[in-house]
Protein backbone atom coordinates (compact mmCIF):
# COMPACT_ATOMS: atom_id res chain seq x y z
CA UNK A 1 0.00 0.00 0.00
CA UNK A 2 2.15 2.94 1.26
CA UNK A 3 5.88 2.34 1.50
CA UNK A 4 6.99 5.88 2.34
CA UNK A 5 4.77 8.21 4.38
CA UNK A 6 5.66 11.84 5.02
CA UNK A 7 4.11 13.25 8.21
CA UNK A 8 4.09 17.04 8.33
CA UNK A 9 4.26 18.21 11.95
CA UNK A 10 3.73 21.69 13.35
CA UNK A 11 5.77 21.67 16.55
CA UNK A 12 3.68 24.57 17.89
CA UNK A 13 0.43 22.65 17.50
CA UNK A 14 0.12 19.37 19.47
CA UNK A 15 -2.91 18.40 17.39
CA UNK A 16 -0.62 17.95 14.39
CA UNK A 17 1.12 14.99 16.00
CA UNK A 18 -1.57 13.81 18.40
CA UNK A 19 -3.98 13.30 15.50
CA UNK A 20 -1.81 12.69 12.45
CA UNK A 21 1.13 10.71 13.78
CA UNK A 22 -0.79 7.71 15.21
CA UNK A 23 -2.71 7.26 11.95
CA UNK A 24 0.46 7.53 9.87
CA UNK A 25 2.26 5.02 12.12
CA UNK A 26 -0.66 2.61 11.82
CA UNK A 27 -0.66 2.90 8.01
CA UNK A 28 3.11 2.37 7.88
CA UNK A 29 2.90 -0.69 10.12
CA UNK A 30 0.03 -2.21 8.13
CA UNK A 31 1.84 -1.76 4.82
CA UNK A 32 5.41 -2.39 5.98
CA UNK A 33 6.34 1.17 5.14
CA UNK A 34 8.56 3.78 6.75
CA UNK A 35 7.74 7.18 8.15
CA UNK A 36 9.39 10.49 7.35
CA UNK A 37 8.64 13.01 10.08
CA UNK A 38 9.12 16.60 9.04
CA UNK A 39 8.72 20.07 10.39
CA UNK A 40 9.28 23.41 8.73
CA UNK A 41 10.74 26.50 10.36
CA UNK A 42 9.23 29.43 8.44
CA UNK A 43 11.76 31.83 7.01
CA UNK A 44 11.55 35.57 7.51
CA UNK A 45 10.18 36.14 4.05
CA UNK A 46 11.87 39.50 3.52
CA UNK A 47 15.41 40.71 4.25
CA UNK A 48 13.96 43.77 5.99
CA UNK A 49 12.29 41.54 8.58
CA UNK A 50 15.56 39.66 9.28
CA UNK A 51 17.06 42.85 10.73
CA UNK A 52 14.72 42.59 13.71
CA UNK A 53 15.95 39.13 14.73
CA UNK A 54 19.23 38.27 16.47
CA UNK A 55 22.18 37.02 14.45
CA UNK A 56 22.06 33.29 13.67
CA UNK A 57 18.36 33.15 14.57
CA UNK A 58 17.53 30.74 11.73
CA UNK A 59 20.33 28.31 12.65
CA UNK A 60 19.22 28.34 16.29
CA UNK A 61 15.60 27.82 15.28
CA UNK A 62 16.55 24.86 13.07
CA UNK A 63 18.60 23.27 15.85
CA UNK A 64 15.77 23.71 18.36
CA UNK A 65 13.24 22.26 15.89
CA UNK A 66 15.45 19.20 15.28
CA UNK A 67 15.77 18.60 19.03
CA UNK A 68 12.00 18.89 19.53
CA UNK A 69 11.30 16.57 16.59
CA UNK A 70 13.79 14.02 17.96
CA UNK A 71 12.06 14.12 21.36
CA UNK A 72 8.63 13.85 19.77
CA UNK A 73 9.70 10.76 17.82
CA UNK A 74 11.09 9.13 20.99
CA UNK A 75 7.94 9.92 22.97
CA UNK A 76 5.30 9.17 20.33
CA UNK A 77 6.50 6.30 18.15
CA UNK A 78 6.98 2.65 19.06
CA UNK A 79 10.70 1.84 19.15
CA UNK A 80 10.41 -0.54 16.19
CA UNK A 81 8.85 2.05 13.83
CA UNK A 82 11.30 2.85 11.02
CA UNK A 83 11.46 6.59 10.56
CA UNK A 84 13.63 9.43 9.38
CA UNK A 85 13.40 13.03 10.50
CA UNK A 86 13.60 16.12 8.32
CA UNK A 87 13.77 19.78 9.35
CA UNK A 88 13.44 22.42 6.67
CA UNK A 89 13.55 26.20 6.49
CA UNK A 90 11.30 28.20 4.22
CA UNK A 91 7.76 28.41 2.97
CA UNK A 92 5.76 25.60 4.62
CA UNK A 93 3.73 24.30 1.68
CA UNK A 94 6.68 24.41 -0.71
CA UNK A 95 9.00 22.58 1.69
CA UNK A 96 6.44 19.83 2.40
CA UNK A 97 5.93 19.16 -1.31
CA UNK A 98 9.70 19.25 -1.99
CA UNK A 99 10.41 16.84 0.86
CA UNK A 100 7.72 14.47 -0.40
CA UNK A 101 9.42 14.45 -3.80
CA UNK A 102 12.94 14.08 -2.35
CA UNK A 103 11.99 11.18 -0.08
CA UNK A 104 9.88 9.35 -2.64
CA UNK A 105 6.85 9.59 -0.36
CA UNK A 106 3.69 8.03 -1.70
CA UNK A 107 1.48 9.64 0.97
CA UNK A 108 1.56 12.87 2.96
CA UNK A 109 -0.25 12.94 6.31
CA UNK A 110 -1.04 16.20 8.04
CA UNK A 111 -3.54 17.51 10.53
CA UNK A 112 -5.85 20.43 9.94
CA UNK A 113 -8.06 22.58 12.12
CA UNK A 114 -11.71 23.00 11.36
CA UNK A 115 -11.88 25.46 8.51
CA UNK A 116 -12.30 29.12 9.36
CA UNK A 117 -13.95 30.63 6.29
CA UNK A 118 -12.51 34.12 6.77
CA UNK A 119 -8.94 32.88 7.29
CA UNK A 120 -9.11 30.40 4.40
CA UNK A 121 -10.52 33.08 2.10
CA UNK A 122 -7.76 35.54 2.97
CA UNK A 123 -4.66 33.33 3.23
CA UNK A 124 -5.73 29.72 2.82
CA UNK A 125 -4.70 26.81 5.01
CA UNK A 126 -1.46 24.88 4.61
CA UNK A 127 -3.29 21.57 4.28
CA UNK A 128 -5.40 22.87 1.40
CA UNK A 129 -2.35 24.25 -0.37
CA UNK A 130 -0.49 20.96 0.03
CA UNK A 131 -3.48 19.03 -1.34
CA UNK A 132 -3.57 21.28 -4.42
CA UNK A 133 0.20 21.12 -5.07
CA UNK A 134 1.15 17.60 -4.00
CA UNK A 135 2.19 15.03 -6.58
CA UNK A 136 0.98 12.24 -4.23
CA UNK A 137 -2.08 11.49 -2.13
CA UNK A 138 -2.62 13.57 1.01
CA UNK A 139 -4.44 12.38 4.11
CA UNK A 140 -5.78 15.37 6.04
CA UNK A 141 -6.69 14.42 9.61
CA UNK A 142 -9.28 16.62 11.28
CA UNK A 143 -9.24 17.22 15.00
Banded pLDDT at 143 (limits 50, 70, 90): low
pLDDT digits (tens, 9 = 90+) for 94-116: 999 999 999 999 999 998 866 66
Question: Of the candidates 106, 101, 99, which has an alpha carbon nearest to the alpha carbon of residue 85?
Answer: 99
pLDDT digits (tens, 9 = 90+) for 26-84: 999 999 999 999 999 987 666 656 666 667 778 888 999 999 999 999 999 988 889 99
User: What are φ and ψ of residue 19, in 5° steps?
Assistant: -95, -50
Which CATH number is associated with domain 4-142?
3.40.50.620
- Give domain limits for the chain: 4-142
Classified as helix, coil or strand, 85 is strand
pTM for the full predicted model: 0.86
pLDDT digits (tens, 9 = 90+) for 78-98: 888 899 999 999 999 999 999
Helix (H) or strand (E) holding 36, with range, is: strand 34-41
Amino acid sequence: MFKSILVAIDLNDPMSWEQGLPQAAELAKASGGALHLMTVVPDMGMPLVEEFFPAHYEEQALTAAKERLDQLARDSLPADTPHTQHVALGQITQRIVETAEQTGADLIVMASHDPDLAQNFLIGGHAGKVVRRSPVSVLVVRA
